[in-house]
Chains A and B, each alone.
Chain A
Amino acid sequence: MRPNASPFYRTLAFRVLLPIVVFGLAFGGLLIGSVRSVVLEFVDQQATNDLRWGANSIFQIIDTNLDELQRAGKSSDPLALRHRKVTALTQIEDFARANQLAVVVHDVAARRSFDLGGELANPAGQERWFMPTQRRYTHVINFEPWRWEITVVQDNRVYVALLNRLMIGAGLATVFLVVALSVCIFYLTVRAGRPIRKIIGDLEKNRPPQYKGIAEFEYLSRSIANMMDAVQEQSQLLEMTFANIGEGLCVFDSRMRGLACNTKFFEIYALPVSMLPGDLRVSAVLKQALGVPRYLSREPSSEPICFEHARPDGRTIEVRVHAMGDARYVSTHEDITERKAAEERVRHVATHDALTNKPNRFLFQDRLHQVLKASRRTGQKGGILFIDLDRFKDVNDSLGHEVGDELLKEVAARLSATVRDADTAARFGGDEFAVLIPTVTQPEELARVAERLIESISRPLPLAGTTLQTGASIGITLFPDDGADAIELMRNADIALYEAKAAGRGQYRFFTQALNARVQERTALSSDLRGALAQNQFVVHYQPQVDLASGTIIGVEALLRWQHPQRGLISPVLFIPLAEQSGLISSIGEWVLRETCVQLRGWLDAGFHLRAAVNVSAAQIHRHDLVQVVKHAIADYNIPPESLELEITESTFLEDPTKAIKTFERLRDLGVHIALDDFGTGYSSLSYLRRLPLTNIKIDRSFINDIANRAIDASIVRNIIAMAHGLGPIRVTAEGVEEKVQYEKLLQMGCDHGQGYFFSRPATADKIGGLLSARFSVRLGRAVS
């Protein structure tokens, strides 16, 4: 038995059969009634006809005998008359018996009656089928001498029997008709239903439906099969979708009663999977998730209503509800706990520095915007502190990035520990940090914060087996006084920081309008610098380099000067950083090189054998074409390579030493001399000294200043000279020789060359040419002013 078999009274067959039977019974009843009436009339008419026919036949018998009597001429013969009468009576009797009639012949004249024919059964019986048990027909034959009153009595038994047979036959025929009709229709119904039931059964068993049926229902069966197939496929698809969709689904009505739920729904709310959608617990979950659904519209909506529902177990469920328009709703339920965590992580990553886990520039700016908004509303003051670590680059370069990173993390921790919770300590990248102080009452509070920060950062830090000590420079800007918006404030803080850094390590500076003016000036210079080369505003001055032993000029150092049309001569200290920042340094450097080569060519042609030194910036070193530029320059102006010296500083090769060394080696191969400028101020790594193809070391002027008075400086200089000479044919040039005693000291120490005001200030080429022509010598006791 099929689990979902319908009771018989709900089957199509029964629904068809019952009306048929009811109709059949009613129809049969009416038919029998009608048939009874017709049959009764028919039988009655038949009986009447038979009776009349019988009577007429009897009269005919009598007539025949009368005729015979008269034909024989014996109608008055009593004997013949009696004979004829008896003959007639016997004939009537025979006829009556044969035709089941009873005949009473009453001889009126003789006053005698003769009962002829069969005996009448049950003459006083009840009517049957509304038929009388007898019917009589009486007629008087009145022919003299014959006067008979004849009563023909018909026994209706035979007609009642006939009526019985007809009625039974009609009843049976009607019953048979109804039954046959019912059976036929029932059969057809069953036959019609069979393929449909089979199709449904097949579909329920997930089998391809077979629709074989009788021809009349073939098309119907096929159509139903196809339709059911499509419906089932669609249904299965929907079912599978419903079951396999990654979200919980629940269809419910306006009373929050669940109508259909998928497995995922039960899993999300930790309900038994076997629970029916209509369970009260489903309603409870829905009410808990959606609250009182006053806002649920009955109209179908294209946009869902979304909720985030926090579960007691800490999970977050996102619920979306669509109204289907018939007071029913479909809701999707998604556990977004992990997604929210991921979003939070992304948001955190986007707003925080990965290394220190401190807010980054983006978050800092965002918070600054918020604070500024509040400030504009409340008039509350606050401040921004930009912090830059001192010598962090050195730590990074010398101890590695890992150590640098640890240092940064420690600095960040110290920043956080120093400021208030309401403050924001952020890292912008590299060694740049910033602190946002949302509320201060006096600017001095910011100064105290800056001091605490510098002090905190400056505390020694044991790291990587050593103790690091760094410092910090801090630029401070105050809002709303120093700027209207975040960008301006941050720029001003940067300016202040720059100023602090310029002031030396471990300093902090407030942004001032004076600071701002300087920045504005730098900006203007930077703008003018771009046109300076084209407008031929640069000039090259030369400072002689003197052989200390002979006192003669053996070379010059080319020094760039900017002859600004409005500002006059501008110091390289001012514009070289600008050139470096703007990328113009390469073009300017090449121009200086070629200008120097032109000048050197002139001096060589004039018979002065000099070596011209040109400063090379790091930007030039890292250009691939420096060698080519030099090569072309010396070729273009026919400059002996050994007459050209390129001065480099440590900073030019620290960024990429390998590449720089390779470039210098190629320049040396050209025959060009390489001088290391400002030696002693940086790391002065001996390793580099070993690797670099140097021909000259220029001792920084800071060692020369007190060489006569400080023994240590003298010792350093002496050792440098000894080291240089020990490394090979490397000349030593002392920079910043301004006094005779220095000159003498250096000479005594064995220093090869000197450069400084003591010998000559930087001067134009013409002036230098004059000195050369005058055969300048230190021994003349005068210097070129």
Chain B
Amino acid sequence: MGIESVSRRARLWAVAFAALCGLLPLSMALAGFGVPPIRIGVSLGLTGTHAEVARLQQCAYQLWESQVNERGGILGHPVQMVIRDDQSQPQVAAQIYQEFIETAKLDFVFGPYTSPITAAVAPIADKNGYPMLAAGAAADDIWKHGYQNVFGMWVPAGRYTIGFLELLSAAGIERVAIVTVDDIFSVSVAEGAKRWAPAYDLHVVDYRVLPKKNPDMVAAAKAARDSRAQALLLGGLLDESIAMRRALKQIGWTPAAFYASVGPTLEKYRNTLGADANGTFSTSIWEPKENLRLPGSSEFLRAYLGRYHELPSYHAASAFAAGQILEQAIIKAGGTDRSAVRHALATMDAESIIGRYAVDRTGVQIKRFPLIVQWHDDQREIVWPPELETASPVIRK
């Protein structure tokens, strides 16, 4: 091989490279890159307290983004998710949404995770006319401000425990203790339980609100036990649910039924507590169960598993569903005009992988119903409502 042959080969490579460079714009144009994308922003607590749920939701959003772009985007527009880390801090999230709207001028936003953070960004979105699907919030308080652009996807937190209370009543439980940390979601859950308990002839013998930071779960557990409560309800997130479960173990009290919001719906709850997780009740919006027979639910489950190799929580499913619902709203509105999309979100009755979507005039989700799940043998089973139960509830009397 001489110098000449090397030069000829180099020229051939150069020509091929040039040809590729010339085809690139064409191929990009054919792929729709010439059309401005629909940019959707969301902040998630990718770091900090809510990193686990945030990660799940991030994966779901990205899954939806990739799937919708594979379908050719929405109305020919590709979708671009802009996900920022709010460090699980409401004020950081508020700043991020401010930038989304005023600086980046994104087309749409999704709600962040946790009700307190959602409550922090909701007025920003509402003020700027950005319709926002709250894919990570359920606190009743969020929908008491008369927002016109905040739409719930989950059943209100005040209803989370109804199924559990019914189970307690059916099991002959008469006294319950309620403990919650002081955030709007957890309080909503606790207040709901407290409110609905009498309907099931349940007597709330202890009601306790703990500070959000460093709550003394042991003391609360003791107080509950000392109140002669037969069942304990905890309003809180993942960390609080793990802490309370450990506190119960620590004081050696095993109530007839232990309910904790949010935490037990995550695989991490089980992974953290191991066998201690069993028996814990919780409320779920969606479960990776085939028997839910929700449209696209199984496909989502498989896609998520295939892509991320783990089971998605209802938070992840809700994030994906948020993408689905927004997609339908844009199509219904015929474009990305936010006012038209807002109108569509306020009036539409749509299907998603987590079920039907419809809101009342305050934006509160009215078509969803909660699932009561219980850890059985390292498995999370649906125990209420009876029509969807995958296992019978276990309540030790």
A residues engaging B (CB < 8 A)?
Answer: 79, 82-83, 85-86, 89-90, 94, 97-100, 110, 112, 114, 118-119
Contacts and interface: CB of A to CB of B under 8 A. Distances in A.
Given A86-B166, A90-B162, A98-B366, A112 B198 contact: yes
B196 A86 contact: yes
A606 B362 CA distance: 184
Nearest to B360: A98
The 10 closest A-B pairs by CB, nearest first: A98-B360, A86-B199, A79-B170, A112-B198, A82-B200, A98-B361, A94-B366, A83-B166, A82-B169, A86-B162
Interface string B361-372: 110101000000
A97 B364 contact: yes
A86 B198 CA distance: 10
Contacts of B361: 98-100
Contacts of A83: 166
B393 to A, nearest CB: 13
Contacts of A118: 144, 362
Given A82-B199, A98-B366, 15 more contacts: A79-B169, A79-B170, A82-B166, A82-B169, A82-B200, A83-B166, A85-B199, A86-B162, A86-B199, A94-B360, A98-B361, A100-B361, A110-B198, A114-B195, A118-B362
Interface in B170-196: 170, 195-196
A105 to B, nearest CB: 10
Nearest to A94: B366
A94 B169 CA distance: 23
A76 to B, nearest CB: 16
Nearest to B155: A90
Contacts of B170: 79
A320 to B, nearest CB: 93
B151 to A, nearest CB: 14
12 contacts: A79-B166, A82-B166, A82-B199, A82-B201, A90-B159, A97-B360, A97-B364, A98-B366, A100-B361, A112-B198, A112-B199, A119-B144
B199 to A, nearest CB: 5
B169 A89 contact: no
A114 B198 CA distance: 9
Interface of B: 144, 159, 162, 165-166, 169-170, 195-196, 198-201, 360-362, 364, 366
A99 B362 CA distance: 9
A79 B200 CA distance: 8
Which secondary structure characterizes the binding site on chain A?
Answer: helix
A89 B170 CA distance: 18
A85 B162 CA distance: 12
B200 A86 contact: yes
B165 to A, nearest CB: 8
B155 to A, nearest CB: 10
A85 B165 CA distance: 13
Contacts of B166: 79, 82-83, 86
Contacts of A86: 162, 165-166, 196, 199-200
A114 B158 CA distance: 14
A97 B196 CA distance: 17
A98 B358 CA distance: 12
A161 to B, nearest CB: 12
Nearest to A113: B198
Contacts of A119: 144
Contacts of B165: 86
Nearest to B366: A94
A112 B194 CA distance: 13
Nearest to A83: B166
A119 B162 CA distance: 21
A167 B144 CA distance: 28
| Residue from the set A79, A83, A110 with the largest chain B CB neighbour count within 10 Å | A83
B202 to A, nearest CB: 10
A228 to B, nearest CB: 62
Nearest to A87: B162
Contacts of A79: 166, 169-170
B139 to A, nearest CB: 15
A108 to B, nearest CB: 14
B346 to A, nearest CB: 12
Contact of B362 (A90, A97, A112, A114): A97
A90 B162 CA distance: 10
A99 to B, nearest CB: 8
A57 to B, nearest CB: 13
Contacts of A114: 195, 199
A89 B165 CA distance: 14
Contacts of A100: 361
Contacts of A90: 159, 162
Nearest to A112: B198
A83 B200 CA distance: 8
Contacts of A94: 360, 364, 366
Nearest to B195: A114
A119 B159 CA distance: 17
B147 to A, nearest CB: 14
B385 to A, nearest CB: 9
A118 B165 CA distance: 23
B174 to A, nearest CB: 13
Given A82-B169, A85-B199, A114-B199, A98 B162 contact: no
Contacts of A97: 360, 362, 364
A98 B362 contact: yes
A118 B170 CA distance: 30
Contacts of B362: 97-98, 118
A90 B362 CA distance: 16
Most buried by B among A79, A89, A97, A98: A97
A433 B170 CA distance: 175
Nearest to B170: A79
Contacts of B360: 94, 97-98
B211 to A, nearest CB: 26
B384 to A, nearest CB: 10
Contacts of B162: 86, 90
Contacts of A110: 198, 201
A97 B361 CA distance: 8
Contacts of A85: 199
B95 to A, nearest CB: 31
A285 to B, nearest CB: 90
Contacts of B159: 90
B386 to A, nearest CB: 10
Contacts of B198: 110, 112
A82 B197 CA distance: 11
Contacts of B201: 82, 110
Contacts of A112: 198-199
A114 B162 CA distance: 14
Contacts of A99: 361
A118 to B, nearest CB: 8
A119 B362 CA distance: 13
